[in-house]
Amino acid sequence: MPHEGVRWRVDLQTKKFAVADYRAAQAAGIAHGTTDPLVVPKPIGVFSSSGNILTYGGADLLWLGLRTGLSGTSGLANTLYNNGNAGIIVGDTTQSVVATRTEIAASTGATHRYTKGMDATFPTHTTGTGASTASKMLFRATFSSSQANFAWKEWGIKNRVQQSLNSGRLLNYNTTSQGTKVSSAIWQFTITLSLA
Protein backbone atom coordinates (compact mmCIF):
# COMPACT_ATOMS: atom_id res chain seq x y z
CA MET A 1 0.00 0.00 0.00
CA PRO A 2 1.47 3.44 -0.93
CA HIS A 3 2.54 5.65 1.96
CA GLU A 4 3.29 9.37 1.82
CA GLY A 5 6.83 10.02 3.03
CA VAL A 6 6.28 13.51 4.46
CA ARG A 7 9.00 14.76 6.80
CA TRP A 8 8.99 17.66 9.29
CA ARG A 9 12.09 19.74 8.55
CA VAL A 10 13.33 22.84 10.35
CA ASP A 11 16.28 25.02 9.40
CA LEU A 12 17.48 27.98 11.38
CA GLN A 13 19.78 30.87 10.63
CA THR A 14 20.91 33.51 13.10
CA LYS A 15 22.56 36.60 11.64
CA LYS A 16 24.60 38.55 14.15
CA PHE A 17 25.06 42.30 13.64
CA ALA A 18 27.10 44.94 15.44
CA VAL A 19 24.67 47.54 16.80
CA ALA A 20 26.43 50.46 15.06
CA ASP A 21 26.40 48.68 11.68
CA TYR A 22 22.76 47.71 12.05
CA ARG A 23 21.63 51.21 12.94
CA ALA A 24 23.64 52.78 10.13
CA ALA A 25 22.12 50.32 7.64
CA GLN A 26 18.66 50.99 9.02
CA ALA A 27 19.10 54.73 8.52
CA ALA A 28 20.45 54.19 4.99
CA GLY A 29 17.58 51.85 4.14
CA ILE A 30 14.96 54.35 5.29
CA ALA A 31 16.72 57.11 3.34
CA HIS A 32 16.47 54.95 0.20
CA GLY A 33 12.79 54.22 0.70
CA THR A 34 12.88 50.72 2.21
CA THR A 35 11.39 49.79 5.57
CA ASP A 36 13.45 46.60 5.84
CA PRO A 37 16.72 47.60 7.53
CA LEU A 38 18.26 44.19 7.02
CA VAL A 39 18.60 44.54 3.26
CA VAL A 40 21.87 46.46 3.68
CA PRO A 41 23.96 45.50 6.73
CA LYS A 42 26.61 42.84 6.63
CA PRO A 43 26.49 40.42 9.57
CA ILE A 44 29.57 39.93 11.73
CA GLY A 45 28.61 36.27 12.10
CA VAL A 46 26.06 33.75 10.86
CA PHE A 47 24.96 30.57 12.64
CA SER A 48 23.04 27.91 10.71
CA SER A 49 21.63 24.57 11.81
CA SER A 50 18.99 22.00 10.91
CA GLY A 51 16.79 19.82 13.07
CA ASN A 52 13.92 20.33 15.46
CA ILE A 53 11.00 18.36 16.87
CA LEU A 54 7.33 19.07 16.30
CA THR A 55 5.68 18.96 19.72
CA TYR A 56 2.41 17.14 20.28
CA GLY A 57 0.84 20.51 21.09
CA GLY A 58 2.15 21.89 17.81
CA ALA A 59 0.84 18.91 15.85
CA ASP A 60 -2.55 19.39 17.50
CA LEU A 61 -2.69 22.97 16.21
CA LEU A 62 -1.76 21.88 12.68
CA TRP A 63 -4.75 19.54 12.61
CA LEU A 64 -7.03 22.15 14.21
CA GLY A 65 -5.96 24.57 11.47
CA LEU A 66 -7.04 22.12 8.80
CA ARG A 67 -10.56 22.13 10.17
CA THR A 68 -10.67 25.89 10.92
CA GLY A 69 -10.27 25.36 14.63
CA LEU A 70 -7.76 28.17 15.20
CA SER A 71 -8.55 31.58 16.64
CA GLY A 72 -7.22 35.06 15.93
CA THR A 73 -7.74 35.97 19.59
CA SER A 74 -4.47 36.38 21.49
CA GLY A 75 -3.75 34.23 24.52
CA LEU A 76 -5.73 31.11 23.68
CA ALA A 77 -4.23 27.63 23.36
CA ASN A 78 -5.49 27.50 19.77
CA THR A 79 -4.35 31.02 18.75
CA LEU A 80 -3.03 31.46 15.21
CA TYR A 81 0.72 31.79 14.66
CA ASN A 82 0.35 35.08 12.78
CA ASN A 83 2.30 38.33 12.90
CA GLY A 84 0.47 39.60 15.95
CA ASN A 85 0.72 36.40 18.00
CA ALA A 86 3.76 34.36 16.92
CA GLY A 87 7.07 34.68 18.73
CA ILE A 88 10.46 33.01 18.74
CA ILE A 89 11.53 31.99 22.22
CA VAL A 90 15.17 31.42 23.21
CA GLY A 91 16.65 30.22 26.50
CA ASP A 92 19.94 29.51 28.24
CA THR A 93 19.24 25.93 29.39
CA THR A 94 18.82 22.57 27.70
CA GLN A 95 16.63 19.56 28.33
CA SER A 96 15.61 16.53 26.33
CA VAL A 97 14.17 17.21 22.89
CA VAL A 98 10.90 15.28 23.08
CA ALA A 99 7.47 15.75 21.51
CA THR A 100 5.80 16.04 24.93
CA ARG A 101 7.59 19.33 25.67
CA THR A 102 5.24 22.24 26.37
CA GLU A 103 7.81 24.86 27.44
CA ILE A 104 11.51 25.61 27.06
CA ALA A 105 13.73 24.63 29.99
CA ALA A 106 15.10 28.04 31.03
CA SER A 107 13.86 29.55 34.26
CA THR A 108 11.77 32.71 34.30
CA GLY A 109 13.40 36.10 33.89
CA ALA A 110 14.79 38.09 30.97
CA THR A 111 18.36 37.00 31.77
CA HIS A 112 17.45 33.35 31.05
CA ARG A 113 14.63 33.32 28.48
CA TYR A 114 13.10 35.76 26.03
CA THR A 115 10.18 35.68 23.57
CA LYS A 116 10.40 38.08 20.64
CA GLY A 117 7.52 38.90 18.31
CA MET A 118 7.72 38.66 14.54
CA ASP A 119 9.40 41.18 12.26
CA ALA A 120 7.02 43.04 9.94
CA THR A 121 5.38 40.77 7.31
CA PHE A 122 6.46 37.54 9.08
CA PRO A 123 5.62 34.70 9.24
CA THR A 124 5.59 34.27 5.48
CA HIS A 125 4.25 31.57 3.22
CA THR A 126 4.10 31.61 -0.58
CA THR A 127 1.19 29.75 -2.09
CA GLY A 128 2.19 27.44 -4.92
CA THR A 129 2.22 23.86 -6.14
CA GLY A 130 5.92 23.04 -5.79
CA ALA A 131 7.91 21.93 -2.75
CA SER A 132 10.01 25.09 -2.86
CA THR A 133 6.99 27.25 -2.00
CA ALA A 134 3.91 25.35 -0.87
CA SER A 135 5.67 23.27 1.77
CA LYS A 136 7.43 26.13 3.60
CA MET A 137 6.75 28.80 6.19
CA LEU A 138 9.31 31.31 7.51
CA PHE A 139 9.35 32.93 10.95
CA ARG A 140 11.72 35.83 11.66
CA ALA A 141 12.38 37.93 14.75
CA THR A 142 15.10 40.50 15.39
CA PHE A 143 16.38 40.70 18.96
CA SER A 144 17.59 44.22 19.84
CA SER A 145 20.73 45.11 21.80
CA SER A 146 18.82 45.03 25.10
CA GLN A 147 17.01 41.72 24.51
CA ALA A 148 18.03 38.10 25.24
CA ASN A 149 21.60 38.85 26.30
CA PHE A 150 22.62 35.39 27.47
CA ALA A 151 23.86 32.10 26.01
CA TRP A 152 21.35 30.85 23.42
CA LYS A 153 21.03 27.09 23.96
CA GLU A 154 17.38 26.30 23.20
CA TRP A 155 14.60 27.70 21.07
CA GLY A 156 11.13 27.25 19.66
CA ILE A 157 8.10 29.04 18.24
CA LYS A 158 5.12 30.05 20.39
CA ASN A 159 1.73 31.55 19.62
CA ARG A 160 1.91 34.21 22.33
CA VAL A 161 4.53 36.91 22.83
CA GLN A 162 4.81 36.89 26.62
CA GLN A 163 7.83 36.54 28.89
CA SER A 164 6.09 34.45 31.55
CA LEU A 165 6.36 30.68 31.89
CA ASN A 166 3.75 28.49 30.17
CA SER A 167 2.50 31.34 28.02
CA GLY A 168 1.21 30.21 24.64
CA ARG A 169 1.54 26.90 22.79
CA LEU A 170 5.05 25.66 21.95
CA LEU A 171 4.98 24.55 18.30
CA ASN A 172 8.47 23.06 18.17
CA TYR A 173 11.64 22.73 20.24
CA ASN A 174 15.34 22.15 19.88
CA THR A 175 18.61 22.63 21.72
CA THR A 176 21.35 24.29 19.71
CA SER A 177 24.20 26.38 21.15
CA GLN A 178 24.29 29.52 19.00
CA GLY A 179 26.71 31.50 21.14
CA THR A 180 26.22 34.23 23.72
CA LYS A 181 24.40 37.38 22.71
CA VAL A 182 25.65 40.61 24.28
CA SER A 183 24.35 44.19 24.39
CA SER A 184 26.69 45.30 21.60
CA ALA A 185 24.88 42.97 19.16
CA ILE A 186 21.55 42.64 17.38
CA TRP A 187 20.61 39.12 16.31
CA GLN A 188 18.12 38.21 13.58
CA PHE A 189 16.70 34.70 13.97
CA THR A 190 15.01 33.08 10.96
CA ILE A 191 13.30 29.69 11.22
CA THR A 192 12.16 27.84 8.10
CA LEU A 193 9.55 25.14 8.65
CA SER A 194 8.87 22.71 5.84
CA LEU A 195 6.99 19.53 5.11
CA ALA A 196 8.72 17.67 2.30
Q: Counting runs of H as helices and runs of E as strands, what totals does the chain give?
A: 2, 9
> Is residue 84 located within the same domain as residue 130?
yes
Q: Does residue 21 lie within any of the structural domains?
A: yes
Check if the beta carbon of residue 172 is closer than 8 Å to that of residue 52.
yes
The reported pLDDT for the residue numbered 66 is 83
Report mean pLDDT in 10-residue bins for the chain, 196 residues: 74 92 77 59 90 91 86 87 95 93 91 95 83 82 96 95 86 94 96 87
The reported pLDDT for the residue numbered 39 is 58
The reported pLDDT for the residue numbered 129 is 67
Q: Which domain covers residue 40, as residue numbers?
A: 15-46
> Is residue 36 located within the same domain as residue 92?
no
pTM of the model: 0.88
Closest C-alpha among 61, 114, 125 to residue 88: 114
> Is residue 74 located within the same domain as residue 31?
no
Domains contained in the chain, number: 2
The reported pLDDT for the residue numbered 69 is 82
**Which of 6, 30, 46 is the last residue before a domain boundary?**
46
The reported pLDDT for the residue numbered 32 is 62
Q: Which ranges constitute the DSSP H helices of 14-162?
A: 19-31, 56-66
> Is residue 60 located within the same domain as residue 35?
no
The reported pLDDT for the residue numbered 34 is 59
Q: Does residue 152 lie within any of the structural domains?
A: yes
Q: Does residue 129 lie within any of the structural domains?
A: yes
Q: Does residue 2 lie within any of the structural domains?
A: no
> Is residue 27 located within the same domain as residue 89?
no
CA distances from 8 to 22, 89, 193, 194 (A): 33, 19, 8, 6
